[in-house]
Amino acid sequence: MDTSNEQWALGVSLPFYGEEIMRIGFKNAYEGNNQITGSFANRMFSSTQKISPEYKEILNKFLHKFALFLKFSTEVDANKHSCQNEKQEGYCKLISNDVFNYKYSSTRLELIFQENNNLSFHLVFSHGDAGKFRRIRAYYENHVESGLKRTPLRLDLILDNCM
């Protein structure tokens, strides 16, 4: 993460293919203006567009929520946001008026952005040791009328090197 330029980069090594990059600029995340570039981002947008325009919209929301978290994480010490904490869970209201709930333990942190009554975005950091999380899972959860959960989009990242 490059905090001075407010940009996060992800390099993905794909067997038999090579490496692809995705960059998320989060400088203007509160305004909903996230710059998303790189060959991996292009591949995701192209793939979701082929499936359905609805999935492309979900991907845009997905990346926007991730950018909101990145922006928040660089400002958490500046007390710019209103956060409440009680017994290892709470909520934060960002200066953009976006709200997320969170739950945490010594090995797991989960953030939940509620889109509406049926759709929520989850960002889960887990398997922490020595203060570092090794796995990140980001996903949308859709609660359909029957009570079943459906996940239209999920990204699992396992960190083996963080610079």
pTM of the model: 0.73
The model's pLDDT over 54-105, given as tens digits with 9 standing for 90+, comes to: 777 778 888 888 888 888 877 766 566 677 777 777 777 777 777 788 888 7
Inside any domain, residue 63: yes
The model's pLDDT over 13-42, given as tens digits with 9 standing for 90+, comes to: 778 888 888 898 988 888 888 888 898 888
Inside any domain, residue 2: no
Number of domains within the chain: 1
Q: Return the pLDDT at 149.
A: 63
Inside any domain, residue 46: yes
- Measured CA to CA in angstroms, residue 144 lies from 77, 117, 135, 147 at distances of 38, 10, 28, 6
Inside any domain, residue 25: yes
Q: Which domain, by its residues, includes 51?
A: 7-158
CA separation for the pair 109, 128 (Å, rounded)? 9
Strands 33-37 and 82-86, by their bridges, are unpaired
